[in-house]
Amino acid sequence: MEELEKDLHLDKALTVIWSEIHCLHDDIENLEGYVGFANLPNQVYRKSVKRGFEFTLMVVGESGLGKSTLINSLFLTDLYSKDYPGPSQRIKKTVQVEQSKVLIKEGGVQLTLTIVDTPGFGDAVDNSNCWQPVINYIDSKFEDFLNAESRVNRRQMPDNRVHCCLYFIAPSGHGLKPLDIEFMKRLHDKVNVIPLIAKADTLTPEECQLFKKQIMKEIQEHKIKIYEFPDTEDDEDSKLIRKIKEKMPLAVVGSNVVIEVNGRKVRGRQYPWGVAEVENGEHCDFTVLRNMLIRTHMQDLKDVTNNVHYENYRSKKLAAVTCNGVDATKNKGQLTKSPLAQMEEERREHVMKMKKMETEMEQVFEMKVKEKKQKLKDSEAELERRHEQMKKNLEAQYKELEEKRHQFEEEKANWETQQRILEQQKLDASKTMEKNKKKGKIF
C-alpha cells in the first residue's frame, strides 16, 4: 500500500515537471532542425481543456451498501446532500434509474459528472428482471447517441453513455449471490463493470482475502467479463497494473465524515475500537479505486465504452435493420459494408441481374422466332415442293395426252387415208364393173 502512495507522489511530481517542460518550449524551438509537430500533444491538451470533459458513472447494488457515501467520498463533494437527497433516502417499490448531473472544476479542468443510481435494485422479494430497467437505460443512451450520430444535420453530440458501472457486492464473506452473477452476466457486454466489495470494514483482512479469491473464482467460472486494464508498454505502469489486478475486486469503505486521527484530518468511520480510514491503503482499497477510476483510467473507460460496447450495440442494431426482408444467409458477409454501400451494391447486382434477364429473354425470344420462321419456311418449301410435283405430274399427263392425241391423229389420218384409198379403189372397181356390165360381159 505504501508503494502505491509513493507512486502517487511521483505522479504529482511528474505533473509539475510536465508543466515546466511546457515552459521550456521556447528554448527547444530554437534548436536547429526542430520542426515542431512534437507540440501536437500540447495543442490537443489545450483544446481538450477548452472543451471540458464528461463522465457518466453508474452505481448498482442493494440499498444500504453505502453507494451514495462512496460517491461522495470519491468526488470529495456532497453530491447527495440535504438539498439533493440520495436515492437511499427514498423508498422505492420498483427499480428506478435516476441520474444526477454535477459540474466540478479542478486545476482548470471542467468535468460534467453524471451519477446514475438504481434505487430499489435487489430490494424486492422477487428480484427477477430487476436488471431490465438498468439494461433499458444503458440501451436508451446508446440509442440516443446512435440517433444523434446518424442525423443528416449533426450537431455537437453530448455523450451521455454510461462509461462505468460500479457493482456493489454485499460483504457476506461467502461468495457471490445469484443476483450478483445474473446481473453481471447480463451487463458485461454493455458496460464496463467494476465489482466492489461494499462496507469492507466489516471484514477482517484475512476474511477479505478469502472473499476476494472466492469472488474472482466465481467470476471466472461464469465467464463474466469485468473491466480489464489495457496493456501498457511502460514497465512502471505494468507493475502498477499487476498490483491492482491482484486486489480485485476492490474492497471499499466510504465516509462523509472527517475525523481527526493523530493530528491528521481524515475521512473515516469512527468505531469504539478505532477509526477505519477511507484513504488508508491498509484499511481498504478506496485509494486504489479512486486513482484507477479517476486519475488514470477515466479516459480508457470512455474509450472502451465508445470503441467496444457502443460499437457492439450499433452493429447489432444496424444488422437487424438491413437483415429485414433479405435472406439471412446472404447477410453474413455484409456486416462490414455500410448500408449505403450495400444499397449501391444491391443496385449494381440488380442491374446485372436485369441485364442477364434481358439477354436471356432476348435469346429465348430470338430462338422461338427463329424456330417459328424456320417452321414456316419448311412448310413453305414443302408446299412449294408439292406444288412443283403436282405441276410436273400435270405436265407429264399433258404430255402424255398430247402424245396420245398425236398418235390418235396420226392413226386417224392413216386410217382416213387408207379409207380414202379403199374408197377410191371401190369406186374404181365399181366403175370398172359398170363398164364391164355395159360391155356385156355380164351374164
Partner 1 sequence: LVACFVGEGARGVPLSGHVGFDSMPDQLVNKSVNHGFCFNILCVGETGLGKSTLMDTLFNTKFEGEPTQHNQPGVQLKSNTYELQESNVRLKLTVVNTVGFGDQINKEDSYKSIVEFIDTQFEAYLQEELKIKRTLHSYHDTRIHACLYFIAPTGHSLKSLDLVTMKKLDSKVNIIPIIAKSDAISKSELTKFKIKITSELVSNGVQIYQFPTDDETVAEINSTMNGHLPFAVVGSTEEVKIGNKMVRARQYPWGTVQVENENHCDFVKLREMLIRVNMEDLREQTHTRHYELYRRCKLEEMGFKDTDPDSKPFSLQETYEAKRNEFMGELQKKEEEMRQMFVQRVKEKEAELKEAEKELHEKFDRLKKLHQDEKKKLEDKKKSLDDELNGFKQKKTAAELLQAQTQQAGSSATLKKDKERKK
Residue in 13, 18, 136, 431 binding partner 1, rule: CB under 8 A: 18
Binding of residue 97 to partner 1 (CB under 8 A): no
Binding of residue 340 to partner 1 (CB under 8 A): yes
> Taking contact as CB under 8 A, which single stretch among the options 29-37, 116-124, 192-200, 201-209 is the one that binds partner 1?
29-37
Coil, strand or helix at 333: helix
**Minimal distance, residue 191 CB to partner 1, in Å:** 17
DSSP letter for each residue of 90-153: S--SS---EEEEEEEEETTEEEEEEEEE-TTTTTSS--TTTTHHHHHHHHHHHHHHHHHHH-SS
**Minimal distance, residue 386 CB to partner 1, in Å:** 9
Residue in 10, 390, 421, 427 binding partner 1, rule: CB under 8 A: 390
Residue in 1, 4, 135, 146 binding partner 1, rule: CB under 8 A: 146
Distance separating alpha carbons of residues 36 and 90, to the nearest angstrom: 57
Binding of residue 337 to partner 1 (CB under 8 A): yes
Per-residue b/e over 32-69, b at no fewer than 16 CB within 10 Å? eeeeeeeeeeeeeeeeeeeeebbbbbbbbbbbebbbbb
Residue in 89, 94, 129, 147 binding partner 1, rule: CB under 8 A: 147
> Taking contact as CB under 8 A, which single stretch among the options 35-43, 176-184, 243-251, 269-277 is the one that binds partner 1?
35-43
Distance separating alpha carbons of residues 79 and 359, to the nearest angstrom: 73
The verdict on whether omega for the bond into residue 249 sits within 30 degrees of 0, i.e. cis, is: yes
Q: Do the Cβ atoms of 215 and 170 come closer than 8 Å?
A: no
**Minimal distance, residue 230 CB to partner 1, in Å:** 9
Report the site for partner 1 in 417-436 (rule: CB under 8 A): 419, 422, 426
Binding of residue 415 to partner 1 (CB under 8 A): yes
Question: Distance between alpha carbon 338 and the CA centroid of its chain, in Å?
Answer: 9
Helix spans in 188-267 (H): 205-221, 235-247
Coil, strand or helix at 409: helix
C-alpha cell at 381: 418449301
Binding of residue 110 to partner 1 (CB under 8 A): yes
Report the site for partner 1 in 292-311 (rule: CB under 8 A): 294-300, 303, 306-307, 311
Report the site for partner 1 in 273-292 (rule: CB under 8 A): 290-291
**Minimal distance, residue 40 CB to partner 1, in Å:** 5
**Minimal distance, residue 107 CB to partner 1, in Å:** 3
Residue 293 DSSP label: I
Burial class (CB in 10 A: 0-12, 13-18, 19+), 175: middle
**Minimal distance, residue 43 CB to partner 1, in Å:** 4
Give whichever of 124 and 396 is closer to partner 1, judged by the CB atom. 396
What is the total residue count of the chain?
443
- C-beta atoms surrounding 129 within 10 Å: 11
Report the site for partner 1 in 157-216 (rule: CB under 8 A): 157-159
x/- mask, partner 1, residues 68-87, rule CB under 8 A, reads: ------xxxxxx--------
Residue in 1, 5, 7, 53 binding partner 1, rule: CB under 8 A: 53
Distance separating alpha carbons of residues 200 and 189, to the nearest angstrom: 27
